[in-house]
Structure 1
Amino acid sequence: MATIDLTGSDFEQTVLDNEIVLVDFWAEWCGPCKQFAPTYSAASEKHDDVVFGKVDTEAEQQLAGAAQIRSIPTIMAFKGGHLVFNEAGALPPQALDSLIGQLKELDVEKALRESGQAE
């Protein structure tokens, strides 16, 4: 699956409707964002069971603000509708693959119960 552009109008629904969603917050002027883009795109081609979204922080300033983006690139990961990873900085390919593997293995309901955040 290729990456998809997310906007304020479809962000929440995308997160809620898919088991695993990775989101890359980026901007056209950001050098590290441009360097990370091929890594992110390549991962999206290898993992068709994961949604790879991209949010242009310039075009989607309200969404970036709501997500409390302070530095870009920022990678967020959601599983089962829950934010489970949020980190600024470009990940090297091996780290991104490792993160995806951990997301696939993560029992989010168990993790929420153990942290006292279960619904």
Structure 2
Amino acid sequence: MPVVSLDSRSFGPTLGRPGILLIDWWARWCSPCRIFGPVFEGMAERYPDITFARVEVNGQPELVEVLGVQVLPTLMVFRDGFLLLHHVGVLLEPMLEDVIRQALALDMAEVRRKLAEYRASQARVRVGSHGV
């Protein structure tokens, strides 16, 4: 699957799809981004069932702000809408491959179960802190 470009209109629908989504936040003037770009594109060819996307930060200030991107390049990895990784800086091919393999191996049912447990514990803490 080719690398897709995301903007403020396509970001939400793309994030809402099931599966793994890797997003490369980049800019034309960013030298490290030019190093990471070919690595990212190579992985997109190697893993056609994963969505690889880019956000050119100069054209998407609202996304940059909402997602908290401050340094380039930034890589974000999502699975089924859950943010798994927010990495700042260049990843070399073996490192990116390892990130992808970990995302593929993740048991999402277990992630959802642990998230539900965490939310329930936080609700108990909030109730308990108000003397109820």
Q: Deviations over 1:52-100 (max 9, x none)?
A: 0000000111111111001010000110111111111110000000110
Structure 1 residues 49 and 79: alpha-carbon distance in aligned structure 2, compared to 1, 3 A threshold: same
- Residue identity matched to 1:19: G
The runs of 4+ residues in structure 1 deviating greater than 6 Å are none
Counterpart position of 2:86: 86
Counterpart position of 2:34: 34
Question: Pairwise mapping of residues 96-111 of structure 1 onto structure 2 (< 5 A)?
Answer: 96-111=96-111
Counterpart position of 1:72: 72
Counterpart position of 2:47: 47
Structure 1 residues 103 and 117: alpha-carbon distance in aligned structure 2, compared to 1, 3 A threshold: farther
SS in structure 1 at match of 2:68: coil
Q: Larger deviation: 104-113 or 12-21?
A: 104-113
Q: Identify unmatched segments of 5+ residues in structure 2.
A: 121-132
Cα RMSD (Å): 1.4
C-alpha distance in structure 1 between counterparts of 2:89 and 2:119, whole Å: 27
- Residue identity matched to 1:62: E
Deviation at 1:109, TM superposition (A): 3.3
TM-score, length-normalised on structure 2? 0.85
C-alpha distance in structure 2 between counterparts of 1:85 and 1:112, whole Å: 16
- Residue identity matched to 2:58: E
Identity of aligned residues (%): 30
Q: Of the two, which has the highest radius of gyration? A: 2
TM-score, length-normalised on structure 1? 0.93
SS in structure 2 at match of 1:40: helix
